[in-house]
Amino acid sequence: MYERQHFINGKVTDGTSGRFGPIFNPSTGKQQGRVALATKGEVETAIAAAADAFPAWSATSVVKRARIVQNLVHVLYARKDELAEALAREHGKVFSDAQGDVQRGLEVAEFAQGIPHLIKGEFSDNVSTGIDMYSMRKPLGVVAGITPFNFPAMIPLWMSCMAIACGNSYVLKPSEKDPSVPMLIADCWREAGLPDGVFNVVNGDKEAVDTVCTDPRVKAVSFVGSTPIAQYVYATATANGKRCQAMGGAKNHMVIMPDADLDQVADALIGAAYGSAGERCMAISVAVCVGDDVADRLVAMLKPRVEGLKIGHCMDPEAELGPLVTADHMAKVSGYLDLAEQEGATIVVDGRGFKNTQEGFEDGYYLGGSLYDNVTADMRSYREEIFGPTLQVMRVKNFDEAVELPSIHEFGNGTSIYTRDGDAARAYVNRVEVGMVGVNVPIPVPLAFHTFGGWKSSAFGDINQHGMEGVRFYTKTKTVTSRWPTGIRAGAEFVIPTLNS
């Protein structure tokens, strides 16, 4: 039984609250550790450390900041498997998927190495006689991240690498379900040479979240999690004068046109719907088939593949997906599957009865893959995010109906279309009301140099994550108008300067 504490001002700091949360191994169903839950005062100590570190860090040359991020990249590559194993044992995703979690975060660190170029302002020479004008991007100060259980490496790295490269100091409040990887990331920053206090980790629950969202020293908050909590964080943070980006839930649709290559579609759906046991905000959870013939053929192709999914413990090299993160979450997903059945969906494959027979792993939080057909838009199981290893199949008559389904849905995170028709693909990309779109790509997660963010109830705030949007979120613009005296006095001027001056 191990303990995870906090990381404040460059060192591991024991909690003083006396409150702890359990850390389970989802593969076995047994508690393997506990995590300290911070008090308001402990979060304030971390914020104070970040505030003290900010002046020196923000004054550090942008080239030196880039080199420390570069050092971090090397450290992360060297320790990638260590992070992935710790992640797998606390989250439950299989080791290869955990490696991908670390890798996608690492790619944002690689992008952030380019901060000397990314943070450049603009310059206009002689905008008026003898007057130059230029802009600079300046760091905000102390910024904070509140991150979810499903990507305990990727999302803390997405946030912290951009924030720190831009010259901010940082406080991370990760999920208490899998806290080991964020603590390892703190150690990686330290190994990379980051000064004490620039990166801090406070483990906790709502008390920690509320402190981060209300403390006046925190200038910006970035959040990823469920929509209800995203709404709460956004409302609380902005009411307290902070910049906020809060990414919420999803219900991602894949539209399958009659001309699509169904072998390719089936391959795409198996990975996109069931990978990481469906615990991805970009998982495809709805297959929208244009025409009954497409649906009949696709369901027939998917059925044996879903039944044959290899499910096992997180370190099983043969497993394609592992357990869900907690017993409560497993029960929640099972409840949605019960609901879909009650609402009249056709059960093609039922994963509720799956039992892992691997010795020592019989009590893990496992569900088999489920496949439901004839799902309709009025079903609650369709309207809400399930976040588990299930795929819902919907049938529509034509392209216009296929565009409408994701466009009118409450969530607008990601969507894909599979087709050989360039006109249909182009029309879909332009018409669908969703923030991230894939064309013959199952999970349209943008790479680090583009921006990540959904629409509607999938995102709150008007600046997205990573890419140039990350630079904009973690900086503020200062514009300077400059004139140096030439020895000629022009006299007092009482009108606002114009382009004719």
Provide the annotated active-site residues: 281
How far apart are the C-alpha atoms of 489 and 491, rounded to whole Å? 6
Q: Measured between alpha carbons, how far is residue 216 from residues 32, 44, 144, 239 in Å? A: 37, 10, 12, 11
Q: Angle, to 10 degrees, between the axis of helix 40-59 and the axis of helix 206-214?
A: 40
How far apart are the C-alpha atoms of 14 and 57, rounded to whole Å? 25
Residue 398: count of CB within 10 angstroms of its CB: 11
Spell out the long-range contacts of 404-407 with Cβ–Cβ below 8 A and sequence spacing 24 or more.
Answer: 405/253, 405/286, 405/288, 405/377, 406/251, 406/252, 406/253, 406/255, 406/288, 406/432, 406/433, 406/434, 407/431, 407/432, 407/433, 407/434
Torsions phi, psi of 201, nearest 5? -125, 125
Amino acid at 209: V
Q: Measured between alpha carbons, how far is residue 200 from residues 69, 447, 483 in Å? A: 16, 26, 42
CB 281 within 8 A of CB 155: no
Q: Round to the nearest angstrom and report the end-to-end CA distance of the chain.
A: 73
With tokens 């908050």, the residue in question is 221
The percent helix, strand, coil of the chain (3-state, each to 5) is 40, 25, 35
> What are the beta bridge partners of residue 439?
417
CB 140 within 8 A of CB 219: yes
